[in-house]
Amino acid sequence: MLFTWDTNNLCIVFKSWRITSTMSLIWSLVGVMLLTAGYELVREMSRRYEAKVQREIDDMPRRSAADAYAKSKTIKAALYAIQVFYSFFIMLLFMTYNGWIMLSVAVGAFVGYLVFGNSTVTKSAACH
């Protein structure tokens, strides 16, 4: 695969997601941008959940805190799995090696961080 700006008959991730017109390109770029911005929403939701659980655990007796931590571990693992799946999907979008799609991913990351990146927790990019 080679880097390109060409959009003629561009296939994005799935056989059925194909650019066939200017309008399908525009809708696809908007969709990619929204998908990428949504990734930041998922990350922020994970951070907020972890902070909420930590506050609750800090206010509990030791034995109850251990039970609450064990229950929260499953939800944290599920949120992590969603993040990993989401980030790999964004990586696949980027790996179309199409400049327009790459820019749309970058703009989506910018918008997503601007809108949803409210926490001061260290940010780390996972595959985007």
| Residue 89 in domain | yes
Local confidence pLDDT in tens for the 128 residues of the chain: 789 999 888 999 999 999 999 999 999 999 999 999 999 999 999 999 999 988 888 887 777 777 778 888 999 999 999 999 999 999 999 999 999 999 999 999 999 999 998 765 555 555 54
| Residue 18 in domain | no
Question: What's this model's pTM, rounded to 2 decimal places?
Answer: 0.82
Is-contact 57 46, C-beta < 8 A?
no
| Residue 8 in domain | no
Q: How many domains does the chain divide into? A: 1
| Residue 12 in domain | no
Burial (CB < 10 A; 0-12, 13-18, 19+), residue 31, is middle
Cite the beta strand spans of the chain per DSSP E. none
| Residue 39 in domain | yes
Domain around 38: 28-116
| Residue 16 in domain | no
| Residue 123 in domain | no
| Residue 9 in domain | no
